[in-house]
Homo-oligomer: A and B are copies of this chain.
Amino acid sequence: MLKVAVAGASGYTGGELLRLLALHPYVKVVAVTSEKSSGKPITQLFPSLSRFYDLTLEPLSSGIVAGDADFVFMALPHGTSASPVSEFVKMGKMVVDLSADFRLKDPLVYEEWYGVKHTAAPLLQSAVYGLPELYRSRIKGAALVANPGCYPTSAILGIAPLMKHGLHNGGKIIIDAKSAISGAGRSPSLAFHYPEANEGMEAYKVGTHRHIPEIEQVLSDISGSTVRACFVPHIIPANRGLLSTSYVPSDFKGGAADIAALYREFYSGEAFVRVLDAGSQPNIREVRGSNFCDIGVAIDKRNGYIIVTSAIDNLVKGASGAAIQNMNLMKGFEETAGLMYPGLFP
């Protein structure tokens, strides 16, 4: 059994890692960390995990992670992850970092969007962007994997086949994304106080969200030329789920069924991507609690757009499930180990 630690275990992505790892056939969680909740049993923060864990939260600085674990999931806030990650890598531990700290290749771009200097810039080049459907072979050999953001995962999986097949005509791509509220984290705030958020919906960080350079970096990488995307995220009143509606300018003359066929081929062999028939649109309810990304395609011929909608559970394929999928690849386990569950519907 692989000895695993979850650093930053008191938040939603931490809890989701523990939910999934509880059932993983080759893993034993040996340490969980939290600065604020240090000293508490993990089941006090997540009563739903009672009967599955008998661990107490400790501060990351306690050294318990360093001592006991061979593999570390880092679920810390952006900016606080880079330093401990580089220490763990030096110790020879494998790391999946769920923060944004190792996603961007260029430390100047990181600095521009995150407003702080990167504290472990030399590691950026060896860190692998952990989207298995696109970078599987690199992930297999990696010691450090940067787990993608939730918005980028859904948007990139939705758009990538078009880029690879040259169906994007170079025009501006627009991504209008809608996220459930668990994506905003577990810290209480007025905006997400139940009576404010329920029956509410709004756009935020219009054109300025930090996931933009991440999306552009990957789309540029797979298309071979610079790609720009206009990205607007929205918050909708639900616990889990993320839907990206991507508008890709295209001169494609065929029909939606042709696009669907092309997507099916592109993702053939992928365990966690389900391409819907043309005319169907994915619903976040079908992926709830699961590691699937469901994709639907349509064409607006009047305006020259291919429109792709892609749905994930932001906490699973958008965070913790993807992290485990990366671990499976890094460690040579079956890629689906501990992840092949249907969604919880209804």
Residues of B within 8 A of A197 (CB): 194
Residues of B within 8 A of A236 (CB): 178, 201, 236-238
Among A76-84, A139-147, A301-309, A320-328, which stretch is in contact with chain B? A301-309
Q: How far is the CA of A311 from the CA of B202 in the complex (A)?
A: 9
A91 within 8 A of B: no
Q: For chain A residues 20-71, which have a beta carbon within 8 Å of chain B?
A: 22-23, 46-52
| Given known A-B contacts A47-B286, A48-B290, A346-B239, A341 and B23 have beta carbons under 8 A apart | yes
Among A103-111, A117-125, A181-189, which stretch is in contact with chain B? A181-189
A342 within 8 A of B: yes
A232 within 8 A of B: yes
Q: How far is the CA of A52 from the CA of B339 in the complex (A)?
A: 13
Among A129-137, A160-168, A292-300, which stretch is in contact with chain B? A292-300
**A182 touching B241, Cβ below 8 Å:** no
Residues of B within 8 A of A200 (CB): 238, 241, 283-285
A193 within 8 A of B: yes
**A182 touching B195, Cβ below 8 Å:** yes
Residues of B within 8 A of A286 (CB): 47-48, 50
Among A93-101, A203-211, A217-225, A259-267, which stretch is in contact with chain B? A203-211
A170 within 8 A of B: no
A138 within 8 A of B: no
| Given known A-B contacts A192-B193, A238-B201, A282-B202, A247 and B230 have beta carbons under 8 A apart | yes
**A243 touching B201, Cβ below 8 Å:** yes
Q: For chain A residues 228-274, which have a beta carbon within 8 Å of chain B?
A: 228-230, 232, 234, 236-241, 243, 245, 247, 249, 271, 274
A198 within 8 A of B: yes
| Given known A-B contacts A299-B207, A345-B48, A305 and B198 have beta carbons under 8 A apart | no
**Residue in chain B with minimal CB distance to A187:** B193
How many whole Å from A316's CB to the nearest CB in chain B? 10
In the complex, the 4 A-B pairs of residues with the closest C-beta atoms, listed nearest first: A207-B300, A195-B346, A200-B285, A48-B343
Interface residues of A (CB under 8 A from B): 12, 15, 18-19, 22-23, 46-52, 172, 174, 176, 178, 180-182, 186-190, 192-204, 206-207, 228-230, 232, 234, 236-241, 243, 245, 247, 249, 271, 274, 281-290, 292, 294, 296, 298-300, 302-305, 307, 309, 311, 340-346
